[in-house]
Amino acid sequence: MGFRRSKADALQSRAWQDFLQAHAALLQGSGVPITIYESRDRFDQLLMHGCVDSSLDPGRFSVGALTQIQRRKSAEAVSLYLRAGFPNPGISMGPLLVEELRRAGVES
């Protein structure tokens, strides 16, 4: 017996791929490694904790490593993510991004 995704799962996956394609330059400039944002689950984990489980991210990326420009781009990406209709997973990316998120219109 084969595995088949539900229609809702397929639509969500397509929406994520469309988001990545539409905002590729912004995401690449954000300083967030592609290994994190290529997966919506890992991206949500980053939004919730400011980092990703080390077994999923051997480089142990943290938002604390971002430059000011990268923090602004990351905040803009988060704002676009929410405006695209993705649910807020409970954003808590740490104090370094609070001001940038506020400027981008994101309430955590």
Query: What DSSP letter does each residue of 5-37 carry, written as one string?
Result: --HHHHHHHHHHHHHHHHTHHHHHHTT--HHHH
In the chain, DSSP finds a helix count (H) and a strand count (E) of 6, 0
Helices 40-49, 68-83: inter-axial angle, 10-degree rounding: 120
Q: Count CB-CB contacts under 10 A for residue 62.
A: 16
Domain extent listing, the chain: 7-103
Residue 106's pLDDT band, with cuts at 50, 70 and 90, is: confident
Tell me the pLDDT of the chain averaged across its residues.
85
| pLDDT tops 70 at residue 105 | yes
pTM summary value: 0.83
Summarize pLDDT for 2-48 with one digit per residue, the tens.
Answer: 567 788 888 989 999 999 999 999 999 999 999 899 999 999 988 88
